[in-house]
Amino acid sequence: MLEDASLTNALPVTLTDKVRRGDLSSETCPSRQVLKNVTSQWGLLTLIALRDGKHRFGELRRKIGGVSEKMLTQSLRALEADGFIDRKVHHSIPPHVEYTLTPLGHEVTERVAALADWIELNYEKVLTVRQALASPNIR
């Protein structure tokens, strides 16, 4: 973690470096939860939807077909807590809340979406491997 960087005054230590050096303890890395938030099903779709700009709760829900209000609320709250989403409340009845990506949110979305798209585009290769593994003459 970043506390290692402050001790050694070296470049920031990444997860990748720690695995390589065998420094990784079993304690849960706090940034893991951030990774989970941005790669979770509804979290990912929420980020991608918000790339097109400001959305309200209902707009997001319709755009992300199939998400329950509960799960959408949960995802929005987590992403907001991580600093990726800005939530603006207009004090009105009925409620009026707008969600936008923060600059940090735009950055992480680009990266997560790129990964998801790569997997999507290479999924055919994955399917091929799976079919080969399912053949009875393997293992």
Which one of 9, 65, 93, 136 is in contact with a copy of itself (CB under 8 A)? 65
Residues 4-63 that bind DNA (CB under 7 A): 36, 40-41, 56-58
Q: Tell me how far, at minimum, the Cβ of 67 lies from DNA, in Å.
A: 7
* Interface pattern 29-48 for a copy of itself (x via CB under 8 A): -xxx-xxx-xx-x--xx--x
Indicate the length of the chain as a whole number: 139
Instruction: Measure the CA–CA gap between 93 and 83, rounded to whole angstroms.
Output: 27
Could you tell me which residues are beta bridge partners of residue 85? 101
Residue in 7, 25, 70, 131 binding DNA, rule: CB under 7 A: 70
Degrees (nearest 5) of the Cα angle 105, 107, 110? Answer: 105
Indicate which single residue of 92, 124, 136, 137 sits in contact with a copy of itself (rule: CB under 8 A).
Answer: 124
- Distance (Å, whole) CA 69 – CA 74: 8
